[in-house]
Structure 1
Amino acid sequence: MSLGIWHPFTQHGLGEPIPEIARAEGAALYQADGTRIIDAISSWWVQTHGHCHPRIVAAIQQQSARLDQMIFAGWTHGPARELAEGLADFLPDSLSHIFFSDSGSTAVEVALKMALGYWHNRGEPRQKILVMEHSYHGDTIGAMSVGARGVFNQAYSPLLFDVGTIGFPEAGTEQETLAQLEAFCRNGESPPAALIVEPLILGAGGMKIYTPAILKQMAAICRAHGVLFIADEVMTGWGRTGTIFAFEQAGVAPDILCMAKGLTGGVIPLAATVATDAIYQAHFSDDRAKMFFHSSSFTANPIACAAAGANLGIWRDEPVQQRIDSLIGRHREFAERLNGRTGISGVRQCGTIFALEIDNRADGYLSDLGPKLLAFFRDRNILLRPLGNTVYVMPPYCIGGEDLKSIYDAIEEAIDHFAKG
């Protein structure tokens, strides 16, 4: 007998089909019979330059034949050093120390531990983490704790630690959100350790968008009160919002930055948490008890680091920003095309991400419309995975005009089919 595969975020009891993919290239996935499927969500938000980019594939092949894996505790290797040196060109000077891990969720865990370790090693009792309503930061315990409480984590609530929550800055409620943050930061009896946010757009929380101006003010409030500012750019990083990192649009620099997904071009798992010198120095000591107690077996895997190094080369040598700008323009044209359509709401765009709600429903991730939409797009050979009734498009930057037209046409067809108007 063989083991049954248990797929993530999949209710196997519904008996929904699970198509098998044999290969991929560019913005397309292919089944064994040659059926071509447009990857409209970058295979869960990771692919940036397209599948099987030759430069990244070559880097993986070459590195795997040279040095495949080694312990990173007390040892080092060239691909990690070269990646750290290369990443410095993409980051503000204030972010000076990088810690590697292996997924977005663990990058967040590392950030939280860095923040708490910073205050602990300074001898200051700061333990509360501030979060934003509707946020999502991953599925490990710490990451779930700083995410919105609800269907994603209600079964595991005994494991989660308490946080302080500020409201999502919807249009018209921005000042209320800022006032909530200010109140938390002014708490002299229990000052917060850090605020963690998804800059500009909340992913799994429903592709909710807020402005760079609000992000800038939140960062300023944190800085005024000595609260660490953590930017979770696992999804938003590497061009998704139109700039390499979303925080750039607010003219701010976080104290701690989390990145993953697009770090390797979306080809192989690798994550990084980058911190200021002050956070590093709080752990720098001749006292071994003050070291940063975190690792995984595959920290800074040489093959993954080589892939990430190739990704940086693509950003330097290819017209990636032009591709991003073109995609932004096509999304904008599609948004204009939907003007006046009934049965939809919330048509919005943040860089290369486009989203809307069908049928004006408000029943969230478990909306019964979600599986119907998923099947609808799957039948049209398009990989779109709606968040409930929220349909979003987040393709690789290399996607062509005809594929985009097919995606947009399918969305309009879905609106006609499912929206009640």
Structure 2
Amino acid sequence: MARSNEWFRSGLEHIWLPYAQMKTAPDPSPIASTEGARLKMEDGSILIDGVGSWWTSVHGYNHPTLLKAAHAQLDAMPHVMLGGLAHEQAYRLATRLAGITPGDLYKTFFTESGSVAVEVAMKVAVQYAMNRTGERRTRFVSFKGGYHGDTFATMSVCDPEEGMHSLFAGVVPEQYVTDLPDTDDRAEAIDRLLSSHNDIAAVLVEPLIQGAGGMRMHSPETLKALRAACDRHDVLLIFDEIFTGFGRTGEMFAADRAGVTPDIICLGKALTGGITPLAATMASRRVYEAFHTDSAEHALMHGPTFTGHAIGCAVANAGLDLFETEPRLDQVRAIQAQLAEELTPLSDLPHVADVRTCGAVAAVEFAHDFDVEAARRWFIERGTFIRPLGRVVYLTPAYVIAPEDLSALSSAIADFAATQA
């Protein structure tokens, strides 16, 4: 433990942690190793992970198939640039993604993170209009409660009132941020918005679940209304499936569950099962054809250094193998049933505003504010790792989590709810 304190204390002086006011935030918990849905701390104690490393480790930590793929690719060729060179893993992965995503989403651009994948989607949408008709459509419609990343363009399409990015009002481009069309009146409002502005390149939405905004959920009918409105007004529809993709909602993609195909889809997080960074932006044939011309000016001039990272692509291919050979979607549906059974009774408590589930996602929303950092420490003291979002205590566990571990997470939330009465 002395050695642990040495690296931890010295490192804490120099590391800048995410989403933390480091002067007041409690120290993070040092982790020594991982396995399945569990985190082993430096002191030997175990935390049951209810978050899945920000929703990535869907196959559980240290899955041997993923580790074997990473080791094999590391030995053969960790990475080569895709500018003028090619490697099998990226090309195989692009082909496989085209085969499993809905509709004619068939062209894939690889990046290192979900935020950048959304940036690429926005760039493609703007250039699509320029390439096709010469129009400068430079603005986007996005939705209250939405979150699409922390880079500059993606901050502009997040909910401007959600706090994390409110300091940047007036710095990032102004977009049309409105209510999701989950009622007839709101659907009509979207239609009016699209008809009255000719500068809109695309509508951008997190399908079925708005993740970081508090696990807010909406119905497939909302997405069908968006698809219809975009078709009427010749506006592209982008699905940000960074969170919902690869089984989280109970189908391989939220688009599948909704029966709606976007023009562009963004994928990440679970793509590599939490092993390496990798994300993807996929475009339909119609969108890509606006770039596939004899003009050099029509090319997409974008190229992250590690686009199509070989190890990441190898792990992603191994992850797709697991979806084919292990019962991931059945596991997600079982998780949903168990979470609904164990957490829905909390909705009877007067201080609980809502309990909602969708696939391997559950959210308990409280009617009042509470100290989020204190709540995080409370859960750790009880052997669980759960990170509330504002008033929302949520679970996004690995799909392979054992039922008894899932019950332990549910019980911790029920016990926490009892302290809030």
1:87–1:312 CA contact under 8 A, matched in 2 = no
The answer for the alignment partner of 1:364 in structure 2 is none
The answer for the alignment partner of 1:278 in structure 2 is 286
The answer for the alignment partner of 2:48 in structure 1 is 38
Provide the C-alpha distance between the structure 2 equivalents of 1:249 and 1:321, rounded to a whole number of angstroms. Answer: 12
The answer for the alignment partner of 1:345 in structure 2 is 353
Matches within 5 A, 1:164-313: 164-169=176-181, 174-187=183-196, 190-313=198-321
C-alpha deviation, 1:37, in angstroms: 0.7
Deviation by residue 1:324-345 (Cα, 9 ceiling, x = unmatched): 1111110121134335223211
Deviation by residue 1:273-328 (Cα, 9 ceiling, x = unmatched): 00011221211222222210111110001000000000000001111122111111
Instruction: Give the alignment partner of residue 168 of structure 2, picking from 112, 135, 156.
Output: 156
Deviation by residue 1:146-202 (Cα, 9 ceiling, x = unmatched): 111132112223431111122135xxx612321221012212x52521000000111
Instruction: Give the alignment partner of residue 388 of structure 1, picking from 370, 387, 390.
Output: 390
Of 338-347 and 132-141, the range deviating more from structure 2: 338-347
Instruction: Give the alignment partner of residue 138 of structure 1, picking from 145, 149, 154.
Output: 149
C-alpha deviation, 1:55, in angstroms: 0.3
Of 156-165 and 380-389, the range deviating more from structure 2: 156-165
Q: Does 1:79 align with 2:105?
A: no
Deviation by residue 1:37-83 (Cα, 9 ceiling, x = unmatched): 11101111111010011000000000011111111122211001111
Provide the C-alpha distance between the structure 2 equivalents of 1:278 and 1:73, rounded to a whole number of angstroms. Answer: 24
Provide the C-alpha distance between the structure 1 equivalents of 2:106 and 2:379, rounded to a whole number of angstroms. Answer: 44
SS of 2:393's equivalent?
Answer: strand
Any runs of at least 4 consecutive aligned residues in structure 1 with deviations exceeding 6 A, and if so which? Answer: none
Pairwise CA RMSD of aligned residues? 1.5
Unaligned runs of 5+ in 2: 1-9
Deviation by residue 1:392-415 (Cα, 9 ceiling, x = unmatched): 011000111111111111111111
C-alpha deviation, 1:15, in angstroms: 4.4
- Tell me the percent identity: 36
Residue identity opposite 1:320 in structure 2: R
Provide the C-alpha distance between the structure 2 equivalents of 1:15 and 1:321, rounded to a whole number of angstroms. Answer: 37
Instruction: Give the alignment partner of residue 57 of structure 2, picking from 30, 38, 47.
Output: 47
TM-score by length of 2: 0.94
SS of 1:12's equivalent?
Answer: coil
C-alpha deviation, 1:112, in angstroms: 0.1
The answer for the alignment partner of 2:405 in structure 1 is 403
Provide the C-alpha distance between the structure 1 equivalents of 2:157 and 2:320, rounded to a whole number of angstroms. Answer: 30
Provide the C-alpha distance between the structure 2 equivalents of 1:336 and 1:143, rounded to a whole number of angstroms. Answer: 34
Provide the C-alpha distance between the structure 2 equivalents of 1:177 and 1:402, rounded to a whole number of angstroms. Answer: 42
Instruction: Give the alignment partner of residue 135 of structure 2, picking from 114, 117, 124.
Output: 124
Unaligned runs of 5+ in 1: 362-366
Aligned length in residues: 409
